[in-house]
Amino acid sequence: MIIKCPHCGPREASEYTYVGDAKVIRPDHEDNDKDKWNDYVFMRCNPRGKHSEYWQHTSGCRAFLNVIRDTVSHKISNVILAGPWKIEAKK
Amino acid sequence: MSGSRLKHHGQFINYDKPIKFTFDGKEYHGFLGDTLASAMIANGKIILARSFKYHRPRGIFSAGPEEPNALVSVRSDGRLEPNSPATTIELYDGLDAYSQNAWPSLSFDIMSINQVFSPLLVAGFYYKTFMGTGQKFWHFCEHFIRRAAGMGKAGLEADPDRYEKSNIFSDVLIIGGGPAGLSAALQAASNGETITLVDENKHFGGSLYEEQGTIDGKNSSSWIEDTLKVLSEYDNVTMMTRTTVYGYFDDNTLGAVERVADHKEQPRKNEPRQRHLKIFAKHVIIATGSLERPIVFAGNDTPGVMLANAALRYANRYGVCVGDNVAIFTNNDDGYNTAHQLRNLGVNVTTVIDVRKKVDQTLITDNNIKYITGNVVTSARGGKALSVIKIAPYDMPTKTIGKEKKIKIDTLLISGGYTPTINLCSQTGTPAVFDNEIQSFIPGPPTRKWEACGAVVGNFTLEEIFIDNKIKNGNKKAIPFALTDIPSSNNSAKKFIDFQHDVSVTDLKIAYTEGFRSVEHLKRYTTLGMAADQGKTSNMNALAIMAELRGVTIPEAGTTRFRAPYKPVALGTLAGRSVGNNYRVIRRTPMHDWHLAHGADMIEAGIWYRPQVYKKNGETITDAYIREATAVRNSVGIVDVTSLGKIDVQGPDAAEFLNRIYANAFLKVPIGKARYGVMLREDGCMFDDGTSWRLSETQFLMTTTTANAANVLSEMERLLTLIWPKLKVHVSSISDQWAGMAVAGPNSRNTLEKVIKDIDFSEEGLPFMGVTDGTINAIPVKVSRLSFSGERAYEVFTATHHGITIWKNIIQAGADFNITPYGTEALGTLRIEKGHISGPELDGRTTMSDVGLGKMASSKKRYVGSVLKERIGLTDKMRKTMVGLISHDYQPLKAGSLVLEGSKNIGHLTSTTYSPALNKYIALALIQDGNTKIGNTVTAVFPLKNEKSSALVVDPHFYDKEGKRLYV
Amino acid sequence: MNRYSVFSLIKNALSGHKNWKRAWRAPEPKSHYDVIIIGGGGHGLATAYYLAKEHGIRRVAVLEKGGLGSGNIGRNTTIVRSNYMLPANTKFYEHSMKLWEGLSKDLNYNMMFSQRGIINLAHTPSQMDAFSRRGNAMLIEGVDAELLTTKEISRRVPGLYTGKNTRFPIVGGLCQPRAGTARHDAVAWGYARGADNYGVDIIENCEVIGFIKDGDRVTGVKTTRGEISAPKVGISVAGNTSPVMKLAGVNKMPIEAHVLQAFVTEPLKPLINTVVTWGAGHLYISQSDKGGLVFGGDLDGYNSYAQRGNLPIFEHVAAAAVTMFPNLSRLKLLRNWGGIMDMSMDGSPIICKGPLPGLYLNAGWCYGGFKATPAAGWCFAYTIAKDEPHNLNAAFTLDRFYNGRELDEGGAGPYPAHQ
């Protein structure tokens, strides 16, 4: 599998570390609601098909990428630099 | 059948280079260019192995990687390689090969008695018996079954050869250098794109060598030669032979094996035996051709029955004649082509038997051949060498045979049409589609950037490949007449489908009867297609027969999806050089060599090596750590702490950030002070601990445990990027940039004062947890007054390249106090005496309260894990909490022991040591509701060794609970 | 049912093997059952078998979207062991082990359960300490375990490199002698035949495409072969748990789907006579009765529903295998397969009633599903029949995550890719 890092270009998946589902939302830091935190830490949609997920380019620029990948075909349809920057990888 | 050489023929053979080799210890001769199979046939030997289950003698059946029968072991000692198809082994001087699965010898194999029992040993027989009285009886039977099963023997010696890995980036990868691959390469080469053309054989050309037509007016051999010359002149074209692409993975990443030295007795110095290639291709052209298909009839595994085009290849390429009296059994036009070419090469083909009644009369051209149409071979006989076949008229609609007639021959060639080699296409996930014309599966539409061309899509003729019409008189297309298995008057003779696994038509019928009818069930129940040849010659026939049994079409019966590898790949090749000592990277501290020179036993700590103990004068490990720990308590010791994770945390919000990720308060750490902190995971369990040193308003130096260094950094980066991007903080790993050492003991201050003149070591100048800068012989150092041992102690950090100098300087300065280097064992002893936690207590399941740090957690702020740590299961009173244990009976307490209260298992020991300070054996333990058990007596048991000892539960702070020693 | 024995083999051989009966029928689905089990894998079939055998509930349908046993029951490394540390796991897997020991006889189907032992190799003293804790915990729960020295390991496992000249020298190991391997497909087929014999309908090529609900209560399923109702519907679909739960209206689960690859070499004469696992990397090796060396490695490491893996794991597994056994270098990998693991957030399974009324769940098996097959079926059947968990699966709840009662055997935390 090859992931196109917006900084570094296409690199093999082995350069990256899988971080997980990008759709789970961390509750506000000050939020005291256990159920929300439980959902965030333990509950996953785990879709069969398109999955929005984070990868970190650990052996490269260390950026976090939001990767849209199909969990059946492993095809990656989009890679965006995660965080407030939202820079897309060149197609 | 008795093979011989056809003089003046053999395009691949160099008759000037004779070669000696041995098979089963006997010497044979061949020529440069031979395969083991071709040379053995030329020597009149076609039986090289026995079959898997029935131990039937089996002859060489093919001339390529699809070989189901002639699996042999080659070479010996560490280079022994079992289960190699003799058809793919290139001959070299001194080659030694051995037959397999036969005892005492290939010609007389006791296990061939299995043939007598073969009516019992049918598909799935082992599921139905050997159950007897239960497990014992099965284990008894299994012993023999295991010995009977298996093919070759593996040795116990290490492989002396080396393997390499290489990456190839190519615009276009062309797999297969036959007519389709070569013409694709020619077309693509002029576009200027980088092209990699690979072929698994020694020679490019593929099926072209047996092509009779002309291309651009040239015969096929000269066309190959010219084409290769043209291609080699392009700088953008890389050509590789002896290279097999075995796997097609995601994103056009392909795995291939280049056989660099397999055709030599051994690799040259520094030459790898094989090279693993990872190929990244923008576009892939799959031109993997096709394989000839056998026909299923009674006795079709008799030695002397062979694929027709294999015989032609032996004659044309290797100058080897497969027999004296040869018949061809075909269901397509290509059989005639083979017959005529063989005759031209001097092979005595006497008969062509064609199942088809109507045959193109222009095919019938040779007066020396008897053409028998509308007939089938109903059986072949001869035991170890074919002697006679029976033929009979065949009525296709009713699938019945007429009167059988015997023909005496010594070789029967079969041509059942061609099966495209769609394995790589299928690996991409593209479902295969059935092509009725060629009665076979071809690749479906590509879902990725590849295309298939040539025989793999059913274009078997040059006219179909070279669409520009420059072909004259090319070979005819092999359009097979659909056939399943052929009836026979001899019901006891087996009709084999999968030769290597001895799967016959009977087995398929049993599978059908018992309901194992889908392809997956059929394969798994009969083991069809699961042998080392991966069903290359058997899958299509099996499908056709099952389809007929079920009364459905072949595509309705289904096809299996192929998986990597297309051809078996050596483990050593996949492993490359990442084996033995190179299995994982090693990190060594700058003081590594010093440690070794001073008697250190090194031990793994994550990816680092650290000194465990420094052994002096024949000390045991125990002697050494007791001496070292005692020295720290009594005077001064020094320990290498370089492996600790070190993270530079900078930015205006650095303190706020640390305050969020540590469970205890960090906002108000004064500049020039360090603080111990504990991090939790999001789920509320403990993650890591360490100290963070405030260097300025906006900068901290954080230390982590050795094991978690990388994870802590990644987690901090995750939080900063994804959760709190507005925090102005940047983190960088400086683990590799800084070397560290801890100087501990009552004389630590005296020692450092001797070498660091620019730091005031007084209580006021450098208080406990204070951090400051100084120099040793003008080399900058950072010093903090921290203690893991409980003694007055200092951590000294310096740039990695100065590490050893600083280390030596401090040791020199400590000479007056007999400064003692200590390792992880003494470090452990000292911290256990103090009740400090480490890896065994931070086991991923414990909470801060569990290990007595509950009060440290802030109740005034939120931090990572603060909400979930309050979950009921994590605050349960019956959780295991950390206590100290002291052995009552002066017996060592063993790590991994369980703690019993009465007979109830209430916990386990985490860390154990002999305490020189207490002169007792002590341990840290996690036991249920531990805080209430202080003062009780419990039993530490170690059932694995049948040991137990009685211990007193105490506060885990065994030594100097008040912390006075920090100020001594 | 044909009773299988050497005599039945002889009898059938004499009649040309034409009189064997189907191992299980191929019935048309009825409109109503007492219990529907979704998933015709090992666990689903075992559940149906024990429902019928232990609880007398025979009006049971097992619905399988493809062919019976086409999931993880046929895509694993066939290892059976009960060498767990946490008491809830130890007890459960030991119950499974005991069922395994009588399974071939019970089902009249030879599972080839070969109790050749498993050896976990340790590379550091602290790993050895952790193994000791596990071994002691096993013994105290009545499970067999022994500590081995490097010398003893070397004697039992010829070819294994036990010297010091390697990155991770072996310092010892933990052995469970009763552990071993079994013929994975036979487990599915044996349970199918057994369940069928009690009258359970095993319905292949019948995909569940929706649930019939009365309010929150599940009262049946919609399938590609029509609607089927039942007061109790059990889900036992391993890697497909999340998609099937979604059909029932449960959108989030404490589960991620990950691919685990396994590999087999060409067949060899007996070489490795026990199961060996390596502590320095994720690798386990055994040899099948047919002779192939079977390797299992680490997860590919990202969510996936593809029953195939990628190249890095090929390379890792080979590197670890040759490092362990330098004599394997020239042996060839023959086949590779990938199974979809239902990785739970703590590495332990879920067998419970709910989360909806009328629904029962068996999921989250991670790597451990194969060895658990008999006990999982047994406990799931009990839970369905009695509407409450058996003691053995009482800890395997779905709400344990909310309650902080995770069973984190590896201490890896809520990160399925690292379990």
Span B705-731, average pLDDT = 95
Are C414 and A53 within 8 A, CB to CB? no
The more confidently predicted of residues B810 and C419 is B810
Decide if pLDDT at B492 tops 60: yes
User: In CATH, which of 1.10.10.10, 3.40.50.1110, 3.50.50.60, 3.40.50.720 is domain B162-291+420-472?
Assistant: 3.50.50.60
The angle that helices C184-197 and C369-386 make with each other, rounded to 10 degrees, is 20
Residues of chain B contacting A29 with CB distance shorter than 8 Å: 660, 723-724, 862
Are B683 and A41 within 8 A, CB to CB? yes
Judge if B162-291+420-472 and B592-643+738-828 fold alike in CATH terms: no
CA-nearest residue of chain C to B155?
Answer: C327
Buried b (16+ CB within 10 A) or exposed e, B408-429: ebbbbbbbbbbbbbbbbbbbbb
Decide if pLDDT at C123 tops 50: yes
Span B240-248, average pLDDT = 97
Residue B701 tokens read as 């130096």
Distance CA C416, CA C419 (A): 5
Nearest to A83 among B253, B725, B862 (CB): B725
CATH 3.40.50.300 fits B592-643+738-828, yes or no: no
Q: According to the model, what pLDDT value does residue A89 have?
A: 66
Helix (H, G, I), strand (E, B) or coil at C388: coil
Span B504-524, average pLDDT = 94
The HSE-up count of residue C302 (CA atoms within 13 Å, CB side) is: 31
At the fourth CATH level, which superfamily is domain B645-733?
A: Aminomethyltransferase beta-barrel domains (3.30.70.1400)
Residues of chain A contacting C240 with CB distance shorter than 8 Å: 48
Distance CA B793, CA B774 (A): 16
Residues of chain C contacting A41 with CB distance shorter than 8 Å: 345, 401, 414
Three-state secondary structure readout of A55-90 = EECCCCCCCEEEEEEECCCCCEEEEEECCCCCCECC
The HSE-up count of residue B903 (CA atoms within 13 Å, CB side) is: 2
Report the range of poorest mean pLDDT among B414-418, B600-604, C137-141, C280-284: C280-284
Distance CA B304, CA B409 (A): 9
User: Helices (DSSP H) in C15-116: which residue ranges?
Assistant: 42-55, 87-107
Chain B contact present for A52, CB below 8 A:
no
Distance from CA of A39 to the nearest CA of C (A): 8
B471-472 sheet: strands from edge to edge: B218-219, B214-215, B471-472
Tell me: the pLDDT tens digits for B842-877? 999 999 999 999 999 999 999 999 999 999 999 999
Nearest CA among C176, C81, C175, C67 for reference residue C375:
C81
Q: Are C52 and C199 within 8 A, CB to CB?
A: yes
CA diameter of chain B: 115
Q: According to the model, what pLDDT value does residue B914 have?
A: 97
Are C306 and A74 within 8 A, CB to CB? yes
C226-229 sheet: strands from edge to edge: C208-214, C217-223, C226-229
Are A45 and C251 within 8 A, CB to CB? yes
Residues of chain B contacting C318 with CB distance shorter than 8 Å: 571-575
Distance from CA of A84 to the nearest CA of B (A): 7
Span C311-329, average pLDDT = 95
Are A38 and C402 within 8 A, CB to CB? yes
How does DSSP classify residue C85? S
Decide if pLDDT at B575 tops 90: yes
Q: According to the model, what pLDDT value does residue C102 have?
A: 95
At the fourth CATH level, which superfamily is domain A2-25+33-86?
A: Folate-binding superfamily (3.30.2270.10)
Chain B contact present for A73, CB below 8 A:
yes
List B610's β-bridge partners, or say none: B603
Place of tokens 């196109």: A4
Provide ipTM, 2 decimals: 0.96
To test the contact with chain A by mutation, choose from B864, B867, B871 the residue with the greatest count of A C-beta atoms within 10 A, namely B867
The more confidently predicted of residues C15 and C241 is C241
Chain B contact present for A40, CB below 8 A:
yes
Are A46 and C240 within 8 A, CB to CB? no
Report long-range pairs for B909-912 (Cβ below 8 Å, ≥24 apart). Answer: B909/B885, B909/B940, B909/C133, B910/B840, B910/B841, B910/B843, B910/B882, B911/B828, B911/B832, B911/B838, B911/B840, B911/B841, B912/B832
A-to-B residue pairs, Cβ atoms closer than 8 angstroms: 60
Residue B385 tokens read as 């060498």
Residue B175 banded pLDDT, cuts 50, 70, 90:
very high
**Which residues, numbered 849 to 878 in chain B, qualify as contacts with chain C under a Cβ-Cβ cut-off of 8 Å?**
868, 871-876
**Which residues, numbered 199 to 238 in chain C, qualify as contacts with chain B under a Cβ-Cβ cut-off of 8 Å?**
none
How does DSSP classify residue B486? P
Span B418-433, average pLDDT = 93
Residue A90 banded pLDDT, cuts 50, 70, 90:
low
B-to-C residue pairs, Cβ atoms closer than 8 angstroms: 342
Report the range of poorest mean pLDDT among A44-53, B139-148, B564-573: B139-148
Residue C185 tokens read as 């497909």
Tell me: the pLDDT tens digits for B616-643? 999 999 999 999 999 999 999 999 999 9
Distance CA B279, CA B169 (A): 6
To test the contact with chain B by mutation, choose from A15, A37, A57 the residue with the greatest count of B C-beta atoms within 10 A, namely A37
Report the range of poorest mean pLDDT among B262-276, B322-336, C295-309: C295-309
Decide if pLDDT at B740 tops 80: yes
Distance CA B181, CA B231 (A): 12
To test the contact with chain C by mutation, choose from A24, A44, A45, A65 the residue with the greatest count of C C-beta atoms within 10 A, namely A44
Q: Are B832 and B923 within 8 A, CB to CB?
A: yes
Decide if pLDDT at A88 tops 80: no
Chain B contact present for A23, CB below 8 A:
no
CA-nearest residue of chain C to A43?
Answer: C254
Q: According to the model, what pLDDT value does residue B24 have?
A: 95
Collect all residues from A whose CB is shorter than 8 A from any CB in C: 1, 12-14, 18, 20-21, 34-35, 38-39, 41-48, 51, 53, 55, 69, 71-74
Nearest CA among B342, B375, B630 for reference residue B486:
B375
Q: According to the model, what pLDDT value does residue B301 have?
A: 94
Three-state secondary structure readout of B320-335 = EECCCCEEEEECCCHH
Sign of CA dihedral B946, B952, B953, B958: negative
The more confidently predicted of residues C268 and B968 is C268
Chain B contact present for A41, CB below 8 A:
yes
To test the contact with chain A by mutation, choose from C241, C261, C302, C397 the residue with the greatest count of A C-beta atoms within 10 A, namely C302
The more confidently predicted of residues B968 and B41 is B41
Cβ-based neighbours of A91, under 8 Å, separated by 6 or more: none
Residue B1 banded pLDDT, cuts 50, 70, 90:
very low
Task: Parse chain B into domains and list their residue ranges.
Answer: 162-291+420-472, 592-643+738-828, 645-733, 872-967
A17: enclosing H helix or E strand: strand A17-21
Decide if pLDDT at B3 tops 70: no
The CA distances from residue C303 to B252, B584, C395, C400, in Å, are 20, 26, 26, 23
Residues of chain B contacting C290 with CB distance shorter than 8 Å: 149-150, 527
Sign of CA dihedral C243, C403, C43, C293: positive
Residue A86 banded pLDDT, cuts 50, 70, 90:
low
Distance CA B115, CA B494 (A): 10
Are B127 and C322 within 8 A, CB to CB? no
Q: Are C138 and C84 within 8 A, CB to CB?
A: yes
DSSP for C128-191 reads: HHHHHHHHHHHHHTT---EEE-HHHHHHHSTT---SSSSSS---EEEEETT-EE--HHHHHHHH
Decide if pLDDT at B469 tops 70: no
Q: Where are the beta strands (DSSP E) in B567-718?
A: 569-570, 600-605, 608-614, 637-640, 645-650, 674-680, 686-696, 699-704
Helix (H, G, I), strand (E, B) or coil at B728: coil
Span C85-93, average pLDDT = 95
Span B248-256, average pLDDT = 95
CATH 3.20.20.70 fits B872-967, yes or no: no
Q: According to the model, what pLDDT value does residue B149 have?
A: 86
Distance from CA of C375 to the nearest CA of B (A): 18
Chains that touch B (3 or more CB pairs under 8 A): A, C
Distance CA B173, CA B451 (A): 11
Task: Parse chain A into domains and list their residue ranges.
Answer: 2-25+33-86
Span C10-30, average pLDDT = 91
Burial class (CB in 10 A: 0-12, 13-18, 19+), C374: buried
Report long-range pairs for B269-272 (Cβ below 8 Å, ≥24 apart). Answer: B272/B161, B272/B162, B272/B163, B272/B164
Nearest to A46 among C242, C310, C417 (CB): C242
Report the range of poorest mean pLDDT among B61-65, B265-269, B864-868, C412-416: C412-416
To test the contact with chain B by mutation, choose from C14, C21, C129 the residue with the greatest count of B C-beta atoms within 10 A, namely C129
Chain B contact present for C410, CB below 8 A:
yes
* Count of Cβ atoms closer than 10 Å to residue B449 Cβ: 13
Nearest CA among C116, C176, C96 for reference residue C143:
C176
Decide if pLDDT at B898 tops 50: yes
**Which residues, numbered 121 to 160 in chain C, qualify as contacts with chain B under a Cβ-Cβ cut-off of 8 Å?**
123-126, 128-137, 139-140, 145-147, 158-159
User: Helices (DSSP H) in B719-792: which residue ranges?
Assistant: 748-755
Span B597-620, average pLDDT = 94
Chains that touch C (3 or more CB pairs under 8 A): A, B
CA-nearest residue of chain A to C417?
Answer: A18
Tell me: the pLDDT tens digits for B678-708? 999 999 999 999 999 999 999 999 999 999 9
Distance CA B276, CA B627 (A): 51
Distance CA C47, CA C373 (A): 9
Residue B601 tokens read as 């036993």
Tell me: the pLDDT tens digits for B313-344? 999 999 999 999 999 999 999 999 999 999 99
Mean pLDDT of chain B: 94
Chain B contact present for C15, CB below 8 A:
no
